[in-house]
Amino acid sequence: MSQHASRLGGLRGRSHIPFGAPSHQRLRRIPRRPRRIAMLSVHTSPLHQPGTGDAGGMNVYIVELARRLAAIDIEVEIFTRATTAALPPAVELAPGVLVRHVDAGPYEGLAKEDLPAQLCAFTHGVMQAWAGHRPGHYDLVHSHYWLSGHVGWLAAERWGVPLVHAMHTMAKVKNAALAAGDTPEPAARVIGEQQIVRAADRLIANTAEEAEELVRHYEAARELVAVVHPGVNLDRFRPADGRAAARARLGLPADALIPLFAGRIQPLKAPDILLHAVAHLLEEDPSLRERMVVPVVGGPSGSGLAKPEGLHKLAARLGICDVVRFRPPCAQDELADWYRAASVLVMPSYSESFGLVAIEAQACGTPVVAASVGGLPVAVRDGVSGTLIDGHDPADYARALRPFAQDPGRADRMGAAAAGHAQSFGWDTAAAATAEVYTEAMRERRRLRSAHG
């Protein structure tokens, strides 16, 4: 029997966590919550601009979750790799949230694929920070993505505290749905994820489907997987003063059909499918060219860095450069205006652990046309707040966009339903559920200690 199986042998069958069940229903008694947690994000800093490099939905997730945890009196220290010498060792992100920069490898020019070689150095930096505190400084480790999971595994064992891990994406799932020409995730990552699943006291999945994928692909124990839907900042992402005002601020035509892509530009996110769909629409109805604007807001990332100009060249080959507007990643407040200005957000992704962008757009009153993959069937209410599409045929996306061109009022009607749908995804709810997962992990750790004397 493995060390992990031995440690958890008494747990299996005793503390079942039903996928999707509210966390408060799974608690029989409420032990104390953690006072302070170490949150690990090796490959991307919560201070980075989402939409640049490897910064995306996970950055937003970590920042918003940490803020809300601090608001319920759980201090959070986020450890991330330093990417410039100009940053101080520690930065206060918000009251109760500290970002610690760890030196591990060169500051610049290090690809995510090269980071496994720096995990030893990163772990050393985390241990150095811990050594400066009294024993028991951290009650729990919460790691994000598999690279952080390996550091968290060692830290949690050394400190004698529980490890809670969030995959965010999984190699086996991504490799099963690769875009044409995209690079598969390496075997080393698959092995690493399997090790983390065995080591973690609790795994947090964004959706019930992701929980099932952890069980099916990684043999995770069902009772160790908790489903916690990510949230959205409903103060920032809201309809505000409406579509017309947002278009005026962004210099967009008031009466245009505006299908928006927002996110990292890489094959996984499939912005090329939107461009092909737009070409389909213009071929069918050339008059749309006079009243269509297609913003693509985001920067190259991941495997998209291999051909950073690829999407621009595709727009040229398709003859739609006059309607496509490429915009760099922007701050969250400006992004909210892009959502409000759009007729519809288009997310043709091949894989999404949840799809925070879809919830953000809906919270701003904008419907979504998305691929029916990953967490998007949870994020989007098909036929009400948007349209889900099986597969990645651009003609299907063109077909879903056509009604927005034919019926200008459709965006407003579906947008109102979208805003209502998004209201159930607040970060306060997500933080409270996450805190209860922490509490359960700590309870089980204490129980196991008591059982072993």
Binding residue positions:
43, 49-50, 54-59, 112, 145, 169, 189, 264, 269, 339-340, 342, 352, 360, 366
Q: What is the 3-state secondary structure (H, E, C) of the chain?
A: CCHHHHHHCCCCCCCCCCCCCCHHHHCCCCCCCCCEEEEEECCCCCCCCCCCCCCCHHHHHHHHHHHHHHHCCCEEEEEEECCCCCCCCEEEEECCEEEEEECCCCCCCCCHHHHHHHHHHHHHHHHHHHHCCCCCCCCEEEEEHHHHHHHHHHHHHHHCCCEEEECCCCHHHHHCCCCCCCCCCCHHHHHHHHHHHHHCCEEEECCHHHHHHHHHHHCCCHHHEEECCCCECCCCCCCCCCHHHHHHHHCCCCCCECEEEECCECHHHCHHHHHHHHHHHHHHCHHHHHHECEEEECCECHHHHHCCCHHHHHHHHHCCCCCEEEECCCCHHHHHHHHHHCCEEEECCCCCCCCHHHHHHHHCCCCEEEECCCCHHHHCCECCCEEEECCCCHHHHHHHHHHHHHCCCHHHHHHHHHHHHHCCCEHHHHHHHHHHHHHHHHHHHHHHHHHCC
For the annotated binding site for Mg(2+), the residues are 339-340, 342, 366
Element of type H or E holding 343: none
Residue 419 to residue 359: CA distance in whole angstroms: 9
For the annotated binding site for UDP-N-acetyl-alpha-D-glucosamine, the residues are 49-50, 57, 264, 269, 352, 360
The two three-digit tokens of residue 177, written as one number: 């749905």
Helix (H, G, I), strand (E, B) or coil at 94: strand
Spatial contact of 36 and 77, defined as CB atoms under 8 Å apart: yes
CB atoms within 10 A of CB 382: 14
For the annotated binding site for 1D-myo-inositol 3-phosphate, the residues are 43, 54-59, 112, 145, 169, 189
The percent helix, strand, coil of the chain (3-state, each to 5) is: 45, 15, 40
